[in-house]
């Protein structure tokens, strides 16, 4: 039985931070390869920024739950080390920008004082666990998925099986049938279900966005709650072993599931099952910390409510409040309580607002918020009669805009503002489109069935491929070879619930400055002909060609003016400048580096054995053999793309030398871990096997070099 931790393991955290500091010094002194350093810092939330010499820091906030205390800490850290602006991501993280690399260890240490981590927020790791922001309060949910998201976060944080995969791994939890956690676009998605009174989940696998979005497959229609962590561990192990390692573009789980097929993937899961340390893993949801709403009214509540009542006697003020209440106040399943949604413009808010928001949630709520997948904030557990006072408090800090999760609430990634991969501005065009909706289509402030999302490149961090109306930053070349910022217009995506979604179709590519015209044409058509349908249903009814025809005139690039060559939010001429992407880290193929990493993994296995962490020791010993085998194959100029491929190729390309290693098949030796329970006896035997292989490999490599 695992308990939910109340504090992070400080010695482990301290070691992490000290290691980052040491590696920064090694990198700056030329003792650490840039690619190796990149992999290490990404796994610790330190991400290269478009601007030279500064870093973006991603703060990992499991399922978007943030306490008032943590929010104040994040604000303080941002003021001290960053720019005073907090950015909510579409994975319920918070990012801060313009951080000096040398200061990242002390920044991390400051965050950990309130149990906030950077660990595995980026890189080839299990990324932030996301969930429906209404988890725990949704009237339709069969049960609260928060304890399960927390348990997954705890189990996989620093877990050796998820530290150096070929690419990132994303997991989500949905509160119920509406699938607001968007399981269909995740590597692994869980949708809460009850079956004969038993808690469990519908499981989706192999989804993803990016340049080639893929709809997840149904892995299980119902999986009991005590099997979700063993399943995820098995999935990560299979992905780690068979996933692509050379081409980052093909290294996501979605391609492995596609190529193997779901049935074959299930067979691989069964093969690794005997090696799992926990075939059944009970999650103590009953001991998950209970929410504690404020029980007594603030001293000045009566006077505050009276002031608000006077204010609402004015017609304009009353109309503004009524609109806000209709779009931003959400019914909870707990009688007498409401949740308040805060529409956060492009996901950005200031540290001053964060501090004042912390005061508000401690005064009127339960001392916590949930960050949403649409870059917003939800305050749960506000007493219904206190809502007017909360509205007034949010007004005072500039966070009372109506239209939470509406058509006017556009999701956008940072794009060319800070991201290396940004091709065209996403925030600039998003701001202009939000202005147009507010001024020209105010009725859409109360339209939750129209979702608009924007990404600055094909990687889809703004999730444009699942939007009803999506825009993707691109560039376009004119007949006279000039390059202008452009937008790909995508239509018809959406979430249908119960694990079903639709990816948007690419309709036209237009110069960026025509984005507002495109939006007006799309909205005018929808309002005139949609008949009250959801936009994705209306799009499916009309078909792609219908929309292409009335948007086609906007694609003409023969008559562009000077303004068309200046992107939104910029004053200078557009230049297509794409940096080195860091969304997935890098793989090192240098023979010496791989040999060294093999020895480092063996040392980690020894440490895990001493701590009686037998499953971890086995995995480190496995990695030690894989790295070492890859080093020898690399020396032979043999292309190796996957862990399974390394084992196959070693046995074939080095078949004549297998006696030198005292084995007949490296594959059989290494994969013995699949058939054994991870106990003390096997862990020690397997570690010794790895040590013997590395010793012989070093001798083999010395002979190679002496004859070179």
Residues 128 and 27 in one domain: no
Residue 686 belongs to what domain range?
591-706
- Checking if the pLDDT of 296 tops 90, the result is no
- Distance of alpha carbon 337 from alpha carbon 380, whole angstroms: 8
Asked whether the CA dihedral 462, 464, 467, 469 is positive or negative, the reply is positive
Would residue 481 count as lying in a domain? yes
- Residue 8 near residue 112 (C-beta atoms within 8 A): yes
- Distance of alpha carbon 458 from alpha carbon 468, whole angstroms: 17
- Distance of alpha carbon 438 from alpha carbon 430, whole angstroms: 12
Q: Could you tell me the CATH number of the domain that includes residue 111?
A: 3.30.70
What is the tens place of the pLDDT at every residue in 561-591? 999 999 998 888 988 765 545 554 433 335 8
Would residue 494 count as lying in a domain? yes
- Distance of alpha carbon 502 from alpha carbon 494, whole angstroms: 5
Q: Could you tell me the CATH number of the domain that includes residue 632?
A: 1.20.120.330
Residues 216 and 350 in one domain: no
Residues 475 and 557 in one domain: yes
Residues 503 and 428 in one domain: yes
Lowest mean pLDDT among 67-81, 307-321, 602-616, 677-691: 307-321
The owner of tokens 């899961």 is 269
- Distance of alpha carbon 147 from alpha carbon 16, whole angstroms: 26
Q: Could you tell me the CATH number of the domain that includes residue 318?
A: 3.90.480.20
Sequence-distant (6+) residues with CB within 8 A of 361 are: 68, 367, 368, 369, 379
Q: What pLDDT, on the 0 to 100 scale, is given for residue 339?
A: 98
Neighbour-count burial for 367-389, b at 16+ CB within 10 Å, e otherwise: bbbbbbbbbbbbbbbbbeebbbb
Asked whether the CA dihedral 415, 416, 417, 421 is positive or negative, the reply is positive
- Residue 280 near residue 226 (C-beta atoms within 8 A): yes
What is the tens place of the pLDDT at every residue in 344-394? 999 999 999 999 999 999 999 999 999 999 999 999 999 999 999 999 999
Asked whether the CA dihedral 46, 49, 53, 59 is positive or negative, the reply is negative
Asked whether the CA dihedral 87, 88, 91, 93 is positive or negative, the reply is positive
Domain C-terminal end among 565, 580, 601: 565
Residues 432 and 491 in one domain: yes
Question: Cβ atoms within 10 A of the Cβ of 279, count?
Answer: 12
What is the tens place of the pLDDT at every residue in 527-543? 999 998 999 999 999 99
Would residue 581 count as lying in a domain? no
Would residue 485 count as lying in a domain? yes
Residues 282 and 135 in one domain: yes
Would residue 176 count as lying in a domain? yes
Would residue 12 count as lying in a domain? yes
pLDDT band of 107, cuts 50, 70, 90: very high
Sequence-distant (6+) residues with CB within 8 A of 683 are: 609, 614, 615, 617, 618, 621
Q: What pLDDT, on the 0 to 100 scale, is given for residue 307?
A: 86
- Checking if the pLDDT of 9 tops 80, the result is no
Residues 249 and 313 in one domain: no
Residue 453 host element (H or E): strand 452-455
CA end-to-end span of the chain: 56
Who wins on pLDDT, 34 or 321?
A: 321
Tabulate helix, strand, coil % of the chain (nearest 5): 50, 15, 35
Nearest 10 degrees: Cα torsion 98, 104, 109, 111: 20
Would residue 586 count as lying in a domain? no
Would residue 580 count as lying in a domain? no
- Distance of alpha carbon 266 from alpha carbon 532, whole angstroms: 42
Residues 443 and 491 in one domain: yes
The owner of tokens 């106990």 is 679
Lowest mean pLDDT among 215-224, 392-401, 444-453: 444-453
Residues 144 and 105 in one domain: no
- List the structure tokens of 68: 């008032």
- Distance of alpha carbon 357 from alpha carbon 648, whole angstroms: 57
Beta strands in 132-206 (DSSP E): 171-174, 188-195, 198-205
The overall longest dimension of the chain from CA atoms, in Å, is 92
What is the pTM for the complete model shown? 0.91
Residues 77 and 133 in one domain: no
- Residue 194 near residue 200 (C-beta atoms within 8 A): yes
| 668-677 long-range Cβ contacts below 8 angstroms, 24+ apart | 669/625, 669/693, 670/622, 670/625, 670/626, 671/647, 673/275, 673/618, 673/622, 674/271, 674/272, 674/274, 674/275, 675/274, 675/275, 676/274, 676/275, 677/274, 677/275
Read off the pLDDT of each residue in 687-697 and give the average, rounded to a whole number. Answer: 95
Residues 188 and 252 in one domain: yes
- Determine what percent of the chain is predicted with pLDDT higher than 90: 77
Domain C-terminal end among 120, 140, 171: 120
What is the tens place of the pLDDT at every residue in 637-661? 887 779 999 999 999 999 999 998 9
Q: Could you tell me the CATH number of the domain that includes residue 438?
A: 3.30.413.10
In the chain, how many domains are there? 5
Q: Write the DSSP symbol of residue 244.
A: -
Q: What pLDDT, on the 0 to 100 scale, is given for residue 584?
A: 44
Domain C-terminal end among 346, 372, 396: 396
Residues 138 and 49 in one domain: no
């Amino acid at each position: 039985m695992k308990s939910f931790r109340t504090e992070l393991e400080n010695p482990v955290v301290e070691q992490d931070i000290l290691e980052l500091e040491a590696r920064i010094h090694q990198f700056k002194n030329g003792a650490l390869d840039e690619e190796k350093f990149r992999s290490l810092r990404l796994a610790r939330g330190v991400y290269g920024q478009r601007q030279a010499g500064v870093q973006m820091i991603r703060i990992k906030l499991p399922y978007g739950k943030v306490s008032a205390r943590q929010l104040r800490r994040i604000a303080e850290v941002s003021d001290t080390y960053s720019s005073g602006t907090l950015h909510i991501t579409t994975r319920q993280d918070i990012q801060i920008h313009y951080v000096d690399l040398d200061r990242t260890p002390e920044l991390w240490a400051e965050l950990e004082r309130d149990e906030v981590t950077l660990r595995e927020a980026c890189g080839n790791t299990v990324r932030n666990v996301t969930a429906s922001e209404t988890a725990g309060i949704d009237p339709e949910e069969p049960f609260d998925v928060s304890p399960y998201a927390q348990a997954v976060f705890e189990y996989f944080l620093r877990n050796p099986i998820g530290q150096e995969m070929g690419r990132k791994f994303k997991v989500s939890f949905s509160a119920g049938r509406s699938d607001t956690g968007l399981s269909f676009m995740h590597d692994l998605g869980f949708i809460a279900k009850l079956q004969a009174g038993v808690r469990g989940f519908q499981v989706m696998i192999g989804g993803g966005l990016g340049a080639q979005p893929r709809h997840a497959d149904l892995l299980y229609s119902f999986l009991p709650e005590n099997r979700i962590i063993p399943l995820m561990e098995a999935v990560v192990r299979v992905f780690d072993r068979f996933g692509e390692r050379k081409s980052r573009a093909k290294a996501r789980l979605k391609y492995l599931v596609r190529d193997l097929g779901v049935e074959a993937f299930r067979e691989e899961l069964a093969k690794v099952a005997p090696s799992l340390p926990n075939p059944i893993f009970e999650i103590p949801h009953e001991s998950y910390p209970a929410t504690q709403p404020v029980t007594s009214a603030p001293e000045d509540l009566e006077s505050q409510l009276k002031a608000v009542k006077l204010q609402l006697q004015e017609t304009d003020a009353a109309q503004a409040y009524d609109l806000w209440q209709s779009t931003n106040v959400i019914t909870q399943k707990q009688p007498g309580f409401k949740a308040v949604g805060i529409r956060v413009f492009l996901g950005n808010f200031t540290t001053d607002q964060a501090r004042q928001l912390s005061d508000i949630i401690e005064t009127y709520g339960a001392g916590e918020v949930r960050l949403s997948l649409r870059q917003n904030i939800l305050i749960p557990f506000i007493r219904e009669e206190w809502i007017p006072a909360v509205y007034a408090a949010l007004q005072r800090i500039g966070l009372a805009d109506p239209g939470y999760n509406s058509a006017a609430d556009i999701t956008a990634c940072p794009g060319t503002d800070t991201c290396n991969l940004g091709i065209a501005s996403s925030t600039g065009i998003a701001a202009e489109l939000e202005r147009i909706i507010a001024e020209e289509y105010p009725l859409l402030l109360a339209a939750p069935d129209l979702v608009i999302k924007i990404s600055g490149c094909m990687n889809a961090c703004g999730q444009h491929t699942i939007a009803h109306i999506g825009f993707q930053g691109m560039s376009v070349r004119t007949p006279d070879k000039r390059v202008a910022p452009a937008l790909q217009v995508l239509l018809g995506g959406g979430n249908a619930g119960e694990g079903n979604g639709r990816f948007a179709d690419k309709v036209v590519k237009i110069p960026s400055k025509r984005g507002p015209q495109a939006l007006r044409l799309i909205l005018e058509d929808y309002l005139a002909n949609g008949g009250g349908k959801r936009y994705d249903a209306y799009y499916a009814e009309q078909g792609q060609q219908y929309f292409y025809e009335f948007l086609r005139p906007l694609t003409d690039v023969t008559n562009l003016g000077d303004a068309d060559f200046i992107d939104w939010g910029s004053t200078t001429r557009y230049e297509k400048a794409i940096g080195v992407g860091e969304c997935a880290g890098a793989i090192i193929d240098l023979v010496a580096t791989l040999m060294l990493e093999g020895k480092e993994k063996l040392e980690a296995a020894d440490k895990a054995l001493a701590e009686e962490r037998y499953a971890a020791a086995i995995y480190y010993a496995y990695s030690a053999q894989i790295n070492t085998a890859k080093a020898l194959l690399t020396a032979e100029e043999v292309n190796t793309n996957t862990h399974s491929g390394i084992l196959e190729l070693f046995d074939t390309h080095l078949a004549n030398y297998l006696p030198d290693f005292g084995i007949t098949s490296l594959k059989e030796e290494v994969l013995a871990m699949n058939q054994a329970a991870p106990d003390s006896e096997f862990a020690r035997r397997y570690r010794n096997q790895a040590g013997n292989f590395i010793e012989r490999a070093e001798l083999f490599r010395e002979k190679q070099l002496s004859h070179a």
